[in-house]
């Protein structure tokens, strides 16, 4: 069944009106009156509906029922990644959305090569958010993860530390595993922080410890900067049981 994210103001009682890109997508898919669709308002609610009218600029939908999206993880996970080179962050945004991240944040650290100016960063954020929206629609999510740009490493640490479970992944850590950290900390929210191509500096690790983050290893192998956040997110989802259960009736578009 086709799946679309819509703004809350597109819903009025038992009716919804799709306009803009959503309406255009309906036409691309060649849907017609009587076809079923799933609408998501972005807050984890999904609406089962049927197309009742097609016009050149809008699509009317009759809503049959509303449910919580069973595909949404019970734990809200924030992925913090130091700004990488090239388009690596785009890949992480897409895959982290598919894996269930609640939000994805980019931040600068000492060894970051990529340091976009304010104008460039604004354009990147717009593109990253569109990638997250497309990935959320494709993967059956009930929310579109927000993509953020945190202005400094210090600000990223402070924000991450507000989560119930806050972890920084570090290739030189040899004692505390991600499994141990997750099992030892009850959590409804979690933050996973990874570094850039050159990794974190020693002073940054000490700063993270002072901020209250757990410094963890992902094992004996050195992972690329775009692999580490996805590995950590998948491991956390597995540890929290999110890869073991059949997830309701959410259907892919």
| pLDDT tens string 214-228 | 999 999 999 999 999
- Name the domain boundary from 29, 48, 68: 68
Q: How many helices (H) and strands (E) does the chain have?
A: 7, 12
| CATH of residue 45 | 2.40.240.20
Q: Are residues 105 and 224 in the same domain?
A: yes
Q: Are residues 110 and 234 in the same domain?
A: yes
Q: What is the rounded distance in angstroms from the CA atom of residue 79 to the CA atom of residue 216?
A: 15
Q: Are residues 58 and 82 in the same domain?
A: no
Is there a contact between 145 and 103 (Cβ–Cβ < 8 Å)?
yes
Q: What is the rounded distance in angstroms from the CA atom of residue 223 to the CA atom of residue 120?
A: 28
What is the block-wise mean pLDDT of the chain (253 residues), using blocks of 10 residues? 89 94 91 94 91 94 92 95 96 98 98 93 96 94 96 98 98 93 94 97 98 96 96 96 64 33
| Nearest in space to 196 (alpha carbons), one of 81, 80, 95 | 81
Specify if 101 maps to a domain: yes
Cα-flanking dihedrals φ and ψ of residue 69, to 5°?
Answer: -75, 115
| Nearest in space to 137 (alpha carbons), one of 17, 20, 250 | 250
Specify if 17 maps to a domain: yes
Task: Summarize pLDDT for 20-37 with one digit per residue, the tens.
Answer: 988 999 999 999 999 999
Number of other CB atoms surrounding residue 202 within 10 Å = 9
| Nearest in space to 253 (alpha carbons), one of 14, 46, 13 | 46
Q: Are residues 30 and 48 in the same domain?
A: yes
Cα-flanking dihedrals φ and ψ of residue 159, to 5°?
Answer: -70, -45
Q: Are residues 109 and 23 in the same domain?
A: no
pTM: 0.88
Total count of domains within the chain: 2
Specify if 43 maps to a domain: yes
pLDDT of residue 249: 37
Which residues constitute the domain of residue 233? 76-239
Rounded to a whole number of angstroms, the CA Rg of the chain reads 20
Q: Are residues 35 and 127 in the same domain?
A: no
Specify if 245 maps to a domain: no
pLDDT of residue 129: 97
Specify if 98 maps to a domain: yes
Q: Are residues 53 and 88 in the same domain?
A: no
């Amino acid at each position: 069944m086709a799946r679309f994210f819509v703004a809350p103001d597109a819903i009025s009682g038992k009716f919804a009106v799709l306009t803009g890109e959503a309406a255009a997508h309906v036409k691309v898919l060649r849907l017609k009156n009587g076809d079923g669709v799933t609408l998501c308002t972005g807050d984890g609610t999904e609406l089962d509906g049927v197309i009742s009218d097609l016009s050149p600029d809008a699509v009317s939908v009759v809503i049959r029922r509303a449910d919580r999206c069973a595909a949404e993880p019970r734990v809200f996970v924030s992925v913090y990644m130091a700004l990488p080179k090239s388009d690596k962050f785009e890949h992480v945004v897409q895959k982290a959305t598919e894996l269930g991240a609640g939000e994805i944040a980019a931040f600068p650290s000492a060894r970051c090569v990529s340091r976009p100016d304010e104008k460039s960063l604004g354009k990147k954020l717009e593109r990253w958010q569109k990638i997250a929206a497309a990935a959320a629609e494709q993967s059956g999510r009930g929310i579109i993860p927000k993509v953020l740009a945190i202005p400094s490493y210090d600000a990223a640490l402070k924000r991450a530390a507000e989560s119930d479970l806050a972890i920084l992944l570090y290739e030189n850590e040899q004692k505390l595993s991600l499994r141990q950290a997750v099992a030892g900390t009850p959590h409804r929210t979690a933050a996973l922080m990874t570094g850039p191509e050159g990794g974190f500096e020693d002073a940054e690790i000490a700063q993270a410890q002072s901020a209250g983050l757990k410094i963890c290893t992902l094992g004996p192998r050195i992972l690329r900067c775009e692999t580490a956040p996805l590995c950590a997110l998948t491991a956390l989802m597995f540890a929290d049981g999110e890869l073991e259960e059949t997830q309701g009736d959410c259907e892919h578009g």
